[in-house]
Structure formats: C-alpha cells, structure tokens
Chain A
C-alpha cells in the first residue's frame, strides 16, 4: 500500500518514470460554444506536451481560454461544446471517451484543483470521509483503519495543523486556506500522474497562498506528478513552473521555458504583461507600461492578429494574416508575431508607452470590432 502514501516517500528514489516521458499530449485543441449570439470560438489550436514531473504554467487575461482548455481535456465541458483535436494521456485518446471510462482516469491519473475549494468538497461529509472515499474509489480493499491513517498522513503532508482532529471536521469548520489544502490532499490521494490546478490560490491571502503552494509543491514532488498551473499571476508562474504557455484570445501566442518567457519574450503581449507588473523589487521611479484596451470578443473575431488593436508594433499585414506560432531557436521557444525577430533584446518600455491613458487604442479596438461585425454579417448573407 505504500504507493498511496504521499508522506512515506521522500522523492529521492523515483524509480517509476523519470522526468522525460510524455504523460499528457494535447494537439491542436479547438473548442467552440454555440450561443444565442453565434459561435464562441473559445480555444483555437492549443498544443502542448507535458512530461513526467514537469510543471507547465498557463497565463493569460480573463476569458483567454485557460480554463476551457483543461476542462476539455478532463471531459468537463457541457455536451453542447464542439471539441476537435486530440488529448492523449499516456498515449490513450481522452477526447470522446464516455463518462465511465473518463472517471477511471479523473481523480486517479489526472486530478484537478479549482479556485473555489467548496466546489470540490461536499458540505455534509467530514474531510476524512471524503479523503477516504477518494482513496477507496480506486483501492476498494483498503480497510477502514488503514484508510483513516492514510487520511491523517495526507492532511499532515499538506500542512494542516492537528490532522488527528481535523480529519473529523466538516468543510465549513475550516478556513479557506485549509479547505484548499484538503482539496490538494484529495488530489494527491491516488498518486496522480498529472495535477491540473486552475487558479488554486487566487481567492486566498498571500501568506495562505504561500502555504498552499508549498503544500502543492511538496505533495507533487513526493508522487512525482506533472503539474499544469493555470493562473493570471506571473509571480506564481515564475516561482512554480518550468514551462510557460501564454494565451491570448483562445490561442497560444508564446511558449517556452520560464526563463525564456520572462527574460527573452518575443511576442508583444508577453512583453506588455511583464511591463505592466508592479514589482516589489522596484520603486515608483520605475513607470509601468500598461497594455491599453481590452481583449477582443471571441464571438466575432476580426481577421489577422488578435492582438493588433492593442499592439504598438502592428503593421498592415497584421490586420490580414494571423501569425503562426513559429520557433525562435532550437530549444522549443515559439512565438506568434510577424515581427518577433525585432523583439530580440527589447525591454517593455522600448515597445509600450509608460502613459496612463490612450484613446487611440480604444478607438482602434472599436473600429476593429465594428469591422468584425460587418464581416460576419456579410458571411451570413
């Protein structure tokens, strides 16, 4: 039974699966939702490979498709969603699997942690009961006493104080940070190969966020799981991921190692994101460079580069041709911008102005939205 205990191993003797073999492979994933106003193309061609023990960060503005991407992989989208492409877990195709097959994978091979722990916890059962259930679903012959001991070990390993007592607590008796740690414990219960954490700490205070992230890292290390960390917080990404995928308007616009993304970004949006961050290690003398305007509506996306209305570098071609995600070097760093080579060695304030307002960007966005609506009306005829 030692394989279901996360507190026993110290992570040093990783016999199974060294970092390297691919556990999750997503290829050209597309998701659309039919709505009253038309088709919302929420995810447009996401591809990535996740290797054992590796962590992949997904960043992007609200509505950029971060959550829908992983919900599609887990089979959690409404039936009306139109999904194409491929998502393979250890070579087995997940898209199109029925609920019975998927539930063999969900929770056991791939666990998911959401922003709000209450959506994952049942208010009428104790945390111990819910943990034991998670263990028993996949290991039915564990006896009660054994299961209880595992629960306490798991709670202890995610940093819950007094686990012997807390194991009998109901979710509402715990603080938000403790609940989220219980969810992590449940996610770890079956030594998953992949953990997908969607904004796991967004609702929490920073010191609690630090506790939860530490618990997540420690638990992950002990079972050598791969991690997909979805967050809008570039600080969290910097400290907890190996690879980063930047999403904009449903598309990956840049992908690379965490150092490449932070120190050598090659897509204006990534550069803009970095320049707009206030940093604890820089004072007011350093002006921020905002990215003015808002992301496009996913309903009537204009042709060309989706970032164009907000991009200070845009040229005529950007309005016509959407740039492909192309390699920058041999290392796997890719970016989607017609002029990515011009960004070599550029700092955010070389590209973006450090101003407070910019009405021309707003006007640009309005014009391109109006144009997009006209285009779809023409299509309808």
Chain B
C-alpha cells in the first residue's frame, strides 16, 4: 500500500510519510478489573506522503480516524504498528530525547483555538512560550514574536492582550503564529477553520496559503468539508472507518471520483449556486456508519454502499470476503479501494 503517486510534484522525496499506520484503542469492561474486551479500530493501515510546499487533505466524517492519523503522524501517540518517516528516520522508534528536536519541525494547530490557548497568558507570551521552552528566546526572540504577530495579521499594539479579548478568527491566527514560532517544516492542521464564520474563515484560508508559499511549509489539512479541501489541497485522501478509500491529486479526484463513498460525499456537499443545486445528481446514503469496534468484513463501506445493492450475489460476495486495496485502473493520478470502482463526474 505505497501511497506514492506518479505525479511530478511527488517525484521528489516526501518531507514526511506514514507507512501502514494502525491504531487500536482498547475497549475495557466496566468494573474494577477493566479487562480488555475489544478494540476500536481507529486507524487501520493508512499510508500518506506529504512533499515540500504541499498540502495533503484528509477528509471524512466524524469518527473516521482523521485526528488519530494526524496525532500518529506527529508521533504524539504510539501506533499499534506502522512507521512515520521524517528526515530519513522512523519517528516511532525514537526515544523522548531523540524526538525533542523533531518536535520543533512538526507543529499542530487545533480546531478550537480557545481550548489550546492559555487564558492567563498574553498573546506575546503565548507565541513566545515555545521559544522559551526550547531555549531560543534569548537570541532575538522578542523580534521574532513581534514579526510573527504581524505576519498572521494581528495588530502589534494588541500584543499584551489576552485570548478572550480576540474574535474566533483572530484566536486562530494566534494559534498559527504560535505554531510557526519554531520555524517548523510541517504543520498538522486539525479542522483549523471549522469553527469560524465563513467571512472570517476565508481570511484564515488565504493566510495559510500565503504562509505555505512563503515558508515552503508542508500541511496535513484535516477537514470534513470538501469545499475547503478543494480550495486548499494539492492532494486528497478520503477516509472511511479508519481506512483510506480513495486518494489522488485534488483536481483529478474532484473531476472523477471513483469510490462510491467519495461519490456520495461529493454529492452531499451543498453548492452555493441555486441553478446547479436544482439540477445536480444526489446520492443519498442509507443507514449509519458501523461501529469502529466491529467493522464489517471485506469492504468496510459495504453496509451503506449504493453500488453494492445493485451487484449480483457473486459480485457481492467479493465485497463481503475480500478487502479492496487502493489501486488505479486509469491515469495513476487517483486510486480507489473498491472492487468495482468506476469514475463518475459530479461537479
């Protein structure tokens, strides 16, 4: 399951890559003994590559394993199995001390900036903190913090204010400035604009795009919103129940999604265009996402797959028994994990 795609921008070495990442969380019994009675299969064999100045978007619905994948890629939690390759090394094998300098390079921005900013610290101190922790503040730290405040579009005169004195969009800018303090190469952005009003969200999206171009950053952009993803990503990986079901370069994936889940997801995103909305094909899924502690055999999407329902019994048995792997039948720019994948134009 090598996630390398045959595209020009991927010809170079990826900056960071996940290989066959698996994460299972134990489910324990109630009572004193708390025996392990099962496992949540949060991430089940995910491989990702992110190049320099490249944005890979991870999309999918609530609980499909996006945040867990991002935390695995940062080596914040140990994988059940799999590797994270950065700078020629497997991060999951490093000791705490060996990991420390690597932490500087890979930073995280959260969805809810309020929860991640210490309410008792001023903006200046919040942004300066990572520099102090790494012993870098003495060397021109003050100037660096001031320039970060300006880069993200905050008023330098507000450097002594507290987080609650800022709007949601401004707080997210504070979170981004803090993440940039140590001059990272990779930003893990976990739903960074989901909590913002659209008019404000656009400014933060533009900021992230500008910062990437100027600083050559790599982004893992976690989102449930395909419209934002279309706008910001170079490559997209669509997740369902802990697995990547389809991946590819953004333009090609949107031009012809081949996995029935990607197709349903795309057709469910409302377009802010009344004429298009009136004439669009809609695929409405039935039923609910199965529990990740007991995922379906074979293809995990089969319990809701509209295509499965149309198949004959023989074809269906393949979906039930054989796990579909990511493969490309066509141009190599997109790959789908479906035995009967067929491209469809939806937007």
Q: How far is the CA of A347 from the CA of B152 in the complex (A)?
A: 27
Asked if A278 and B270 sit within 8 Å, CB to CB, the answer is no
Asked if A357 and B203 sit within 8 Å, CB to CB, the answer is yes
Asked if B153 and A356 sit within 8 Å, CB to CB, the answer is yes
Chain B residue with the shortest CB-CB distance to A210: B268
Q: How far is the CA of A45 from the CA of B198 in the complex (A)?
A: 25
**A291 shortest CB reach to chain B, Å:** 4
Asked if A283 and B230 sit within 8 Å, CB to CB, the answer is yes
Contacts of A10 in B (CB 8 A): none
Is B186 part of the binding interface, using a Cβ–Cβ cutoff of 8 Å? Answer: no
| Number of interface residues, chain B, beta carbon within 8 A | 53
Contacts of A289 in B (CB 8 A): 202
Known: A206-B61, A236-B270, A262-B273. A294 touches B167 (CB 8 A): yes
Contacts of B155 in A (CB 8 A): 359, 362-363
Q: How far is the CA of A294 from the CA of B272 in the complex (A)?
A: 22
Asked if A211 and B207 sit within 8 Å, CB to CB, the answer is no
Is B199 part of the binding interface, using a Cβ–Cβ cutoff of 8 Å? Answer: yes
Contacts of B265 in A (CB 8 A): 206-207
**A337 shortest CB reach to chain B, Å:** 16
Is B335 part of the binding interface, using a Cβ–Cβ cutoff of 8 Å? Answer: no
Is B209 part of the binding interface, using a Cβ–Cβ cutoff of 8 Å? Answer: yes
Asked if A283 and B153 sit within 8 Å, CB to CB, the answer is no
Encode A285-296 as 1/0 by CB contact (under 8 A) with B.
011111110100
> Residue B153 contacts which of A175, A205, A358 (CB distance < 8 angstroms)?
A358
Q: How far is the CA of A359 from the CA of B158 in the complex (A)?
A: 12
Asked if B200 and A294 sit within 8 Å, CB to CB, the answer is yes
Q: How far is the CA of A238 from the CA of B276 in the complex (A)?
A: 9
Is B294 part of the binding interface, using a Cβ–Cβ cutoff of 8 Å? Answer: no
Chain B residue with the shortest CB-CB distance to A289: B202
Known: A206-B265, A277-B198. A235 touches B271 (CB 8 A): yes
Is A272 part of the binding interface, using a Cβ–Cβ cutoff of 8 Å? Answer: yes
Contacts of A214 in B (CB 8 A): 282, 284
CB contact list, B26-46 vs A, under 8 A: none
> Residue B271 contacts which of A206, A209, A210, A279 (CB distance < 8 angstroms)?
A279
**A240 shortest CB reach to chain B, Å:** 8
Encode B180-202 as 1/0 by CB contact (under 8 A) with A.
00000000000000000111111
> Residue B285 contacts which of A211, A279, A356 (CB distance < 8 angstroms)?
A211
Chain A residue with the shortest CB-CB distance to B286: A161
Q: How far is the CA of A62 from the CA of B200 in the complex (A)?
A: 11
Known: A205-B61, A207-B265. A280 touches B254 (CB 8 A): yes
Q: How far is the CA of A275 from the CA of B232 in the complex (A)?
A: 15
Encode B199-233 as 1/0 by CB contact (under 8 A) with A.
11111011101100000000000001111101111
Q: How far is the CA of A276 from the CA of B202 in the complex (A)?
A: 5
> Residue B199 contacts which of A161, A287, A291 (CB distance < 8 angstroms)?
A291
Chain A residue with the shortest CB-CB distance to B61: A205
Chain B residue with the shortest CB-CB distance to A209: B268
> Residue B202 contacts which of A161, A290, A363 (CB distance < 8 angstroms)?
A290
Is B277 part of the binding interface, using a Cβ–Cβ cutoff of 8 Å? Answer: yes
Asked if A279 and B286 sit within 8 Å, CB to CB, the answer is no
Asked if B230 and A279 sit within 8 Å, CB to CB, the answer is yes
Contacts of B271 in A (CB 8 A): 235, 238-239, 279-281
Asked if A276 and B152 sit within 8 Å, CB to CB, the answer is no
> Residue B230 contacts which of A232, A259, A263, A278 (CB distance < 8 angstroms)?
A278
Contacts of A258 in B (CB 8 A): 274
The dominant DSSP class at the B interface is helix
Q: How far is the CA of A277 from the CA of B206 in the complex (A)?
A: 12
Q: How far is the CA of A289 from the CA of B198 in the complex (A)?
A: 10
Contacts of B276 in A (CB 8 A): 238, 281
Asked if B61 and A159 sit within 8 Å, CB to CB, the answer is no
Is B251 part of the binding interface, using a Cβ–Cβ cutoff of 8 Å? Answer: yes
> Residue B268 contacts which of A161, A207, A262, A273 (CB distance < 8 angstroms)?
A207
Contacts of B206 in A (CB 8 A): 287-288, 290, 354-356
Asked if A233 and B270 sit within 8 Å, CB to CB, the answer is yes
Is A36 part of the binding interface, using a Cβ–Cβ cutoff of 8 Å? Answer: no
Asked if B207 and A356 sit within 8 Å, CB to CB, the answer is yes
**A197 shortest CB reach to chain B, Å:** 15
Contacts of B285 in A (CB 8 A): 207, 210-211
Asked if A232 and B347 sit within 8 Å, CB to CB, the answer is no
Is A234 part of the binding interface, using a Cβ–Cβ cutoff of 8 Å? Answer: yes
Q: How far is the CA of A232 from the CA of B199 in the complex (A)?
A: 11
Chain B residue with the shortest CB-CB distance to A281: B347
Is A61 part of the binding interface, using a Cβ–Cβ cutoff of 8 Å? Answer: yes
Q: How far is the CA of A279 from the CA of B62 in the complex (A)?
A: 21
Asked if A283 and B277 sit within 8 Å, CB to CB, the answer is no
Is B8 part of the binding interface, using a Cβ–Cβ cutoff of 8 Å? Answer: no
Asked if A357 and B272 sit within 8 Å, CB to CB, the answer is no
Q: How far is the CA of A290 from the CA of B62 in the complex (A)?
A: 27
**A311 shortest CB reach to chain B, Å:** 12
Most A CB within 10 A of own CB, among B230, B272, B278: B272
Contacts of A294 in B (CB 8 A): 167, 169, 200
Asked if A273 and B199 sit within 8 Å, CB to CB, the answer is yes
Is A253 part of the binding interface, using a Cβ–Cβ cutoff of 8 Å? Answer: no
Asked if B274 and A280 sit within 8 Å, CB to CB, the answer is no
Contacts of B224 in A (CB 8 A): 205-206
Is A284 part of the binding interface, using a Cβ–Cβ cutoff of 8 Å? Answer: yes
Chain B residue with the shortest CB-CB distance to A242: B274
Beyond the given A206-B225, A210-B268, A282-B230, could you list 14 further A-B residue pairs with CB under 8 A, ordered by the A residue number?
Answer: A175-B288, A233-B270, A239-B270, A239-B271, A262-B274, A273-B199, A278-B205, A280-B226, A280-B266, A287-B206, A290-B206, A294-B167, A358-B153, A362-B155
Give 15 A-B contacts (CB < 8 Å), ordered by A residue: A208-B61, A210-B285, A232-B198, A238-B270, A239-B278, A262-B272, A273-B198, A277-B198, A278-B202, A280-B230, A282-B230, A288-B231, A290-B199, A357-B152, A357-B153
- B contacts, CB < 8 Å to A: 61-62, 152-153, 155, 167, 169, 197-203, 205-207, 209-210, 224-228, 230-233, 250-251, 254, 264-278, 282, 284-288, 347
